[in-house]
Structure 1
């Protein structure tokens, strides 16, 4: 690969990292060709772009980002590296890795991930990534929490109004009788 080719790949990767809020760096060096093809097929079916890229090219592309990914240098960018990109949901790749590991023990390892500019390093972070809530889920929960007191007041007033109407009706019926 020529220096110009590497430069093109670095620029392409830098642009990809800039517009993709969720990416996972994995080590799938233990997979044979059939299992690698199975992993790639699963990625394609779930809308994940999976690419095997040299660590130096990944590192140079990450250096061009505004976010500090220097924590990836020593631990994540060693050995075999495949990058999973997903634009819409940070959990999709984590779920895929977890499911793939159930069927293929010790076949793929999470080296690091970036979810909405937060970095996660190490395979032990996989369960944490699975429990993360997306921005949309968090916004929905906050809106629900903010609406809850107002709904309680309204339902209290409505039920109180019904009770008051019932009491007045009963009193008017007693007076008429």
Structure 2
């Protein structure tokens, strides 16, 4: 690979890392060709882009970003590295890895992940990534929590108004009789 080709790959990766808020770096080096193709097919079906890239190229692309990915250098960027990119959710790739591991024991290892610029290093972080809520889910929960007290006050006022109207109606009917 020429220097120009490497530079083009680094530039393309840097743009992809900057544009994609969720990416996972995995090790699937022990997979057979058939299992690798199965992994790639699953990634395609779930809208995940999966690329195998040299660690030095990944490292140089990450250096161009504003977020500090230096903790990836010593631990994550060793050996075989495949990068999974997903635009919409941080959980999709984690779920894929877990599902793939159910069918293929010890076949793929999570080396590291970046979810909205938060770094997760090591395969033991897979469960954490599976339970992680997206920004949209958190915003929805906060809005629901903020609306709940207001709804309670409004329903209390409405029920109180109905009771008061009923009492006034009953009193007016007694006076008329």
**Structure 1 and Structure 2 fold alike (TM over 0.5):** yes
User: 1:166 Cα shift?
Assistant: 1.3
Q: Normalised by the size of structure 2, how large is the TM-score?
A: 0.97
- Matching residue of 1:170: 170
Cα shift readout 1:65-104 (whole Å, capped 9, x = no counterpart): 1100001011100011000001111111001001111111
Aligned residue for 2:47, secondary structure, equals coil
Greater displacement, 81-90 / 166-175: 166-175
1:123 corresponds to which residue?
123
Cα distance, 1:144 vs structure 2: 1.1
Cα offset for 1:56?
0.5
Q: Which residue of 2 aligns with 1:112?
A: 112
1:147 Cα offset (Å): 1.1
- Render the CA deviation track for 1:127-173: whole Å, top value 9, x for unaligned: 10011111111111111111111111111100111111111122222
Report the equivalent of 1:145: 145
Unaligned runs of 5+ in 1: none
- Which ranges in structure 2 are unaligned for 5 or more consecutive residues? none
Structure 1 equivalent of residue 16 of structure 2: 16
Distance 1:175 1:68 in 2: 79
Give yes or no for the alignment of 1:2 onto 2:2: yes
Matches of 1:174 and 1:31 in 2, distance apart? Answer: 87
The Cα RMSD (Å) is 0.8
SS of structure 2 residue aligned to 1:71: helix
Match of residue 66 from structure 1 = 66
Shift of 1:174: 2.5
Counterpart of 1:136? 136
SS at match of 2:119: strand
For normalisation by structure 1, the TM-score amounts to 0.97
